[in-house]
């Protein structure tokens, strides 16, 4: 087993000088259903394994393990600012689905296992954000709330974003009621595929439309590809494996 946390990067964020990662499930110490790079005790992994995995992720991000932050995610639209003096063990109990900051030496992170991780950055100020967008959060506008948070730090940002691996259109089958709810909230009406027995939803397309509506151009939005459901060797998936599965970390570090 590798002692290096495996990750995917956005060319767009990297070229703009932002340290970040969409971590896969490889390169950690967890075992069984959580093999191997999982970041959630609540999902069933041990505290020791999660702490050791976090240490490996922190090396890749270039920050101290205690400065990799994430919230208690609730599929809502609340985004929290980090000023740099937060205590990791306390912040994990704060409810919310996005973090944003300009403070040096920390990482804004989200955890996921099918939901969409979105990492954002401001080329001008160096501010960053991480958002967790399941379909409920997407319907409530978590991406717009996160961008509003970034704009509170830097009123005229030059924003870029990367949409990470998540449950793909091919795998995201929903009921008619859920499909109608999502489509009503989407700025792009073409996110639903009704060519199959049940509707399938393209969350990537929905979130891209929301990013564009918030002033980003097509070239400002990067896709980091991967289907969490269809690629069990690379990704955890709640849809595929149920509650006893790991959780990914996606995180980004403010640029000085």
Q: What are the pLDDT digits (tens) for 181-220?
A: 999 999 999 999 999 999 999 999 999 999 999 999 999 9
Among residues 110, 105, 154, the alpha carbon closest in space to that of 132 is found at: 110
**What DSSP state is assigned to residue 191?**
G
Average pLDDT over residues 54-70: 98
Q: Of how many residues is the chain composed? A: 256
Confidence grade of residue 74 (pLDDT, cut at 50, 70, 90): very high
Q: Which residue has the tokens 């922190």?
A: 58
The model's pLDDT over 98-136, given as tens digits with 9 standing for 90+, comes to 999 999 999 999 999 999 999 999 999 999 999 999 999
Domain 7-168+217-252 sits in CATH 3.60.140.10: yes
Question: Is residue 102 within 8 Å of residue 153, measured between CB atoms?
Answer: yes
What's residue 3's pLDDT?
85
Tens of pLDDT, residues 79-107: 999 999 999 999 999 999 999 999 999 99
Give, in order, the Cα–Cα distances in Å from 154 to each of 150, 159, 247: 6, 10, 31
Cβ atoms 12, 162 nearer than 8 A:
yes
Please, which residues bridge with residue 162 across strands? 119, 222
* Domain-wise residue ranges, the chain: 7-168+217-252
Handedness of CA 218, 230, 38, 98 (dihedral sign): positive
Which sign, positive or negative, has the C-alpha torsion 68, 72, 78, 83? negative
What is the per-residue pLDDT for 1? 53
Residue with tokens 């985004």: 79
């Amino acid at each position: 087993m590798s002692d290096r946390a495996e990750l995917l990067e956005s060319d767009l964020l990297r070229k703009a000088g932002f340290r970040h990662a969409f971590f896969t499930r490889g390169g950690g110490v967890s075992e069984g259903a959580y093999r191997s790079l999982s970041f959630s005790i609540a999902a069933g992994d041990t505290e020791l394994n999660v702490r050791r995995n976090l240490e490996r992720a922190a090396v890749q991000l270039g920050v101290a393990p205690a400065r990799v932050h994430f919230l208690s995610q609730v599929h809502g639209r609340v985004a929290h600012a980090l000023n740099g003096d937060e205590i990791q063990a306390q912040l994990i109990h704060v409810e919310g689905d996005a973090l944003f900051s300009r403070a040096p030496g920390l990482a804004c992170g989200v955890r996921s296992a099918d939901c969409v991780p979105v990492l954002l950055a401001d080329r001008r100020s160096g501010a960053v954000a991480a958002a967790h967008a399941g379909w409920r959060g997407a319907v409530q506008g978590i991406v717009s709330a996160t961008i509003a948070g970034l704009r509170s730090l830097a009123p005229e940002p030059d924003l870029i974003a990367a949409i990470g691996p998540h449950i793909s259109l091919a795998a995201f089958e929903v009921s008619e009621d859920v499909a109608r709810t999502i489509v009503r909230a989407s700025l792009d009406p073409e996110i639903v595929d009704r060519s199959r027995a049940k509707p399938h939803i393209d969350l990537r397309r929905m979130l891209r439309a929301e990013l564009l509506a918030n002033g980003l151009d097509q070239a400002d939005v990067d896709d980091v590809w991967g289907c969490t459901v269809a690629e069990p060797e690379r990704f955890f998936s709640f849809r595929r494996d149920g509650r006893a599965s790991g959780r990914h970390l996606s995180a980004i570090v403010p640029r000085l």
